[in-house]
Amino acid sequence: MAYLSMGEAHRRITEYLNSFSESVFSQDAASLKLLLCFSSNSPSLLSVADSLNLFQDANRLIKQSDKYSQFGEIIVHLFRSLQNYRLGHSFDAYNAYEKAANAFIQEFRNWDSAWALEALYVVAYEIRILAERADRELASSGKPPEKLKGAGSFLMKVFGVLAGKGPKRVGALYVTCQLFKIYFKLGTVHLCRSVIRSIEAVRIFDFEEFPKRDKVTYMYYTGRLEVFNENFPAADHKLSYALTHCNPHSEANIRMILKYLIPVKLSLGILPQDWLLEKYNLVEYRNVVLALKSGDLRLLRAALDEHEDRFLRSGVYLVLEKLELQVYQRLLKKIYIIQKQKDPSKAHQIKLEVIIKALKWLEIDMDSDEVECIVVILIHKNLVKGYFAHKSKVVVLSKQDPFPKLNGKPVGS
């Protein structure tokens, strides 16, 4: 590299230009995307970048031929971006790349067929990756990181190009997923709504016709959104879809899906097998599951405490916290079973003080009003069938199915 001659640099640049224009003319998206994909760090691209840094007058080359100059808007910026990318100037690289991408979008708009979708995917991906790097650079120099936001609005533009009727719509979901990634990263999740609406409300395109890869990503993110909204059945549906359609070999992805799917399933009363947690390294859920099985409130609280940061960051803390009621239910059920073994005729009456005592064993100190309140809530949420007699402080359980199972329905439904 150090001995790159001027002639060699010239040759490489011309080669790049040639392959660019040729791939466009022959509508060869596969080779075009290689020319756009900086983050692949492919040796050929890197060598072109070195050549550009050596051979400063690439613009002249572009203008030399009509073949190149008609893509001048794209290539000029692309070259500048590539140069900066090679030099590690992420901010400048992003800015130039966005300009090139804008020009590319203009061209893309004019192409009737969707042949260049693959290349567009690369552009959308690159713009996000470059924006993230640029933001890192900005943040480290104390400036407000705003490039990812800019990438978001650029991708919205791309989405607008694709979202209409026609063959290009197939690509809309990919861009949507890139947008999701940006929005989730930025914490501006509410912006997802408009995109989702346009994907789901419009009946001009069957969702199933989108590429599987995009469908899985889409379902994963929308499922996470449903978790935020505490809409567990919907979250379950979407995340399950993602799980079943996910490539079984990409374990990282499966783990990501399970990270949300497990709490959702838990809150619907469905517990995972231990090997699953083991296999996908989700052991933080193990104690939670155990607590649910045993009615051990203390264990649940400890598990939540232990992984609080992680749960808070992933956003499932509140979901897991709500499992407390199910743990109480389990506890009551245990008491009921024990009473039944002792005296089946009086098993359906549980004295409040028994519950308090049980909680004391778990080293949870609650006064009778509080426990009464919990029981009342359990009855109210339909986790326990029966009623509470205030005067005698007794829970009177229904003789039939006193502890109904959730069976996939959320608590309180």
Partner 1 sequence: MNQAGNTEALLAPPGTIPRELQNFSDANSGQPTIPPSIGSEVQWNIHRVDNGSVQAGFPPNSIYNYQTHTQLHSSEGMNGSTAASSSTLAPSTVPQDYSAYSTHQNSTAYGYGTTGYTSYYSSYQQQTSHSYSQPIPAYPNTGHPYQPLSSFQNTGSYAAPANYSSTYYNPGDYQTSAGYPTTNYSSQTSSQWNEGNYVNYSSYQYSNYAATSMGAYGSASTPAAPLHYQPQHPQYYGQSNTEVTCAPGTENLSASATTKLDCPTPEVTGVTWDYSATSQPQQTSAVSWRPEVTSFQPLQQPTTMINGAQDGHWNYGASGFTNHQSSAGKPEAYQPFDTTSVYASFQEHQKSVASGTQGNNLEYHTVHQVPQTNQFPSTFKDSQSLDSRRVSKFQIQTNPRIVSNLGLGFVKTEKAGSGASTTTKPAYVSVSLPNPSDKVLSNDASHSALKSGTFPKSLRGYVERALARCKNDAELAACQAVMKEIITSATADSTLYTRDWDTEPLFPLPSVDEANKVAQHPVSVPTFRRSPTRRAKSRWEPLQMEKPQDRLAHVGVPAVKSGGWKKANKREKKSLGVDSESTGDRVDSIKLSNMEQNVAMSQRPFKRQRIADKPTMMENGNASSDSDKEQSLSSYYSTASSLANTPEERKRRENRSKRFDKGQGNRTEFYHHHKTKDAGVENLYTRRATAMVMTKKLDNRGSESVEDMDWDALTVKGTCQEIEKRYLRLTSAPDPATVRPEDVLEKALAMVQISQKNYLYKCDQLKSIRQDLTVQRIRNGLTVKVYETHARLALEYGDLSEYNQCQSQLKTLYAEGIVGCHMEFSAYSLLCVILLSNNYRDLLSLMSRLPSDAKEDEAVKHALAVRAAVTSGNYIMFFKLYKKAPNLNSYLMDLYVDKMRYKAVCCMSKSYRPNIPVSYISQVLGFSCASSAIDENEGKEKDGLEECVEWLKAHGACLVTDNNGGMQFDAKASSSSLYIPEPEDAVAHGDANLAVDDFLARVSS
- Distance of closest approach, residue 390 Cβ to partner 1, in angstroms: 5
- Distance of closest approach, residue 396 Cβ to partner 1, in angstroms: 8
- Distance of closest approach, residue 305 Cβ to partner 1, in angstroms: 10
| Using rule CB under 8 A, residue 139 touches partner 1 | no
In the list 112, 343, 363, 369, the residue contacting partner 1 (rule: CB under 8 A) is 369
For partner 1, the closer CB: 203 or 391: 391
| Using rule CB under 8 A, residue 392 touches partner 1 | no
| Using rule CB under 8 A, residue 375 touches partner 1 | yes
Only one of the segments 117-125, 203-211, 315-323, 337-345 lies at the binding site for partner 1 (rule: CB under 8 A); that segment is 315-323
Judge whether 24 and 83 are in contact, CB under 8 Å. no
Only one of the segments 49-57, 64-72, 314-322, 338-346 lies at the binding site for partner 1 (rule: CB under 8 A); that segment is 314-322
Judge whether 68 and 21 are in contact, CB under 8 Å. yes
Name beta bridge partners: 396: 349, 387
Judge whether 388 and 396 are in contact, CB under 8 Å. yes
Structure token digits, residue 353: 């003080």
Only one of the segments 11-19, 60-68, 228-236, 281-289 lies at the binding site for partner 1 (rule: CB under 8 A); that segment is 228-236
In the list 376, 393, 398, 404, the residue contacting partner 1 (rule: CB under 8 A) is 376
| Using rule CB under 8 A, residue 325 touches partner 1 | yes
- Distance of closest approach, residue 356 Cβ to partner 1, in angstroms: 13
Within residues 174-193, the interface with partner 1 by CB under 8 A covers 187, 189
Closest among 347, 383, 350, 353 to 369, alpha carbons compared:
353
In the list 26, 56, 370, 413, the residue contacting partner 1 (rule: CB under 8 A) is 370
Task: Give me the amino acid identity at 32.
Answer: L
In the list 161, 317, 364, 404, the residue contacting partner 1 (rule: CB under 8 A) is 317
Closest among 240, 206, 208, 204 to 222, alpha carbons compared:
240
CA distance 138 to 131: 10
Q: At 206, is the secondary structure helix, strand, or coil? A: coil
Task: For residue 398, report the phi and psi dihedrals to the nearest 5 degrees.
Answer: -65, 145
| Using rule CB under 8 A, residue 390 touches partner 1 | yes
Name beta bridge partners: 389: 394
In the list 321, 349, 354, 404, the residue contacting partner 1 (rule: CB under 8 A) is 321
In the list 208, 309, 363, 365, the residue contacting partner 1 (rule: CB under 8 A) is 309
- Distance of closest approach, residue 367 Cβ to partner 1, in angstroms: 8
CA distance 399 to 316: 35
Task: Give me the amino acid identity at 358.
Answer: A
In the list 387, 393, 398, 409, the residue contacting partner 1 (rule: CB under 8 A) is 387
- Distance of closest approach, residue 346 Cβ to partner 1, in angstroms: 18
| Using rule CB under 8 A, residue 312 touches partner 1 | yes
> Which stretches of 246-364 are DSSP H helices?
251-267, 274-279, 286-294, 297-306, 308-314, 317-321, 324-342, 352-361
For partner 1, the closer CB: 257 or 378: 378
CA distance 59 to 274: 61
Only one of the segments 14-22, 147-155, 166-174, 389-397 lies at the binding site for partner 1 (rule: CB under 8 A); that segment is 389-397
| Using rule CB under 8 A, residue 229 touches partner 1 | yes
Q: What angle do CA 92, 70, 176 make, to 5 degrees?
A: 55
Structure token digits, residue 200: 């789901």
In the list 63, 143, 313, 340, the residue contacting partner 1 (rule: CB under 8 A) is 313
Task: Measure the CA dihedral 105/106/111/117, to 10°.
Answer: 0
Task: Give me the amino acid identity at 82.
Answer: L
Judge whether 262 and 272 are in contact, CB under 8 Å. yes
CA distance 412 to 242: 26
Largest CA distance in the chain: 98
Q: Which residues are CB-contacts of 161 (< 8 A; sequence separation ≥ 6)? A: 105, 108, 109, 168
| Using rule CB under 8 A, residue 373 touches partner 1 | yes
- Distance of closest approach, residue 219 Cβ to partner 1, in angstroms: 19
- Distance of closest approach, residue 359 Cβ to partner 1, in angstroms: 14
# residues contacting partner 1 (CB under 8 A)? 30
Window 393-412: contact mask with partner 1 (x via CB under 8 A) = ---x----------------
Residues that bind partner 1 (CB under 8 A): 187, 189, 228-230, 309, 312-313, 315, 317-318, 321-322, 324-325, 369-370, 372-377, 379-380, 387-390, 396
